[in-house]
C-alpha cells in the first residue's frame, strides 16, 4: 500500500485500495507511469460536489457532463435535474459517482500500459 500512497497521497481510501490492488503486480517504474497518467485523468469528489451545487442554481446536469455521462447530462439539463430529484440524489451520492468514474479510468490506464 505504501507504494501507491507515496505516489498518490490525494486518493480517497476506497479508491486507494482499488488502485493498490490494480498496480500490485507492476514494477515500480510502471507504477510511477500509471500514477502520472491516472492523476491527470481522475476526477476529484470536491469538483463533482461543486458542480452538483451549481446545478441547483444555474445549469442542471453539469456534474454528469463532467463525468462523461453525456446522455444523463442532457436528460438532467432538459428536465431540470429530473425536477431536482436527480440532482438531490447526486448531491447525496457524489462520492460514489466519482469513485465509479475513477475506477473506469484506472482500468483504462492499466490497459493502456499493458499494450
pLDDT tens string, the chain, 115 residues long: the values are 458 888 999 999 999 999 999 999 889 999 999 999 999 999 999 999 999 999 989 999 999 999 999 999 999 999 999 999 999 999 999 999 999 999 999 999 999 997 5
Q: Are 61 and 75 in contact (CB under 8 A)?
A: yes
- Domain range holding 69? 2-113
Residue positions counted in the chain: 115
Contacts of 11 by beta carbon, 8 Å cutoff, 6+ apart: 4, 5, 19
Does an H or E element contain 41, and which? helix 28-41
Q: Are 25 and 49 in contact (CB under 8 A)?
A: no
Helix, strand or coil, per DSSP, at residue 26: coil
Domains in the chain: how many in total? 1
Amino acid at each position: 500500500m505504501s507504494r501507491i500512497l507515496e505516489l498518490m497521497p490525494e486518493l480517497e481510501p476506497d479508491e486507494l485500495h482499488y488502485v493498490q490492488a490494480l498496480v500490485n503486480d507492476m514494477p515500480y517504474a510502471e507504477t510511477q507511469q500509471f500514477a502520472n497518467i491516472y492523476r491527470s485523468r481522475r476526477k476529484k469528489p470536491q469538483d463533482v460536489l461543486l458542480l452538483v451545487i451549481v446545478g441547483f442554481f444555474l445549469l442542471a446536469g453539469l456534474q454528469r457532463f463532467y463525468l462523461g455521462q453525456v446522455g444523463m447530462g442532457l436528460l438532467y439539463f432538459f428536465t431540470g435535474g429530473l425536477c431536482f430529484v436527480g440532482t438531490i440524489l447526486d448531491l447525496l451520492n457524489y462520492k460514489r459517482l466519482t469513485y465509479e468514474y475513477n475506477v473506469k479510468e484506472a482500468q483504462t490506464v492499466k490497459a493502456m500500459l499493458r499494450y
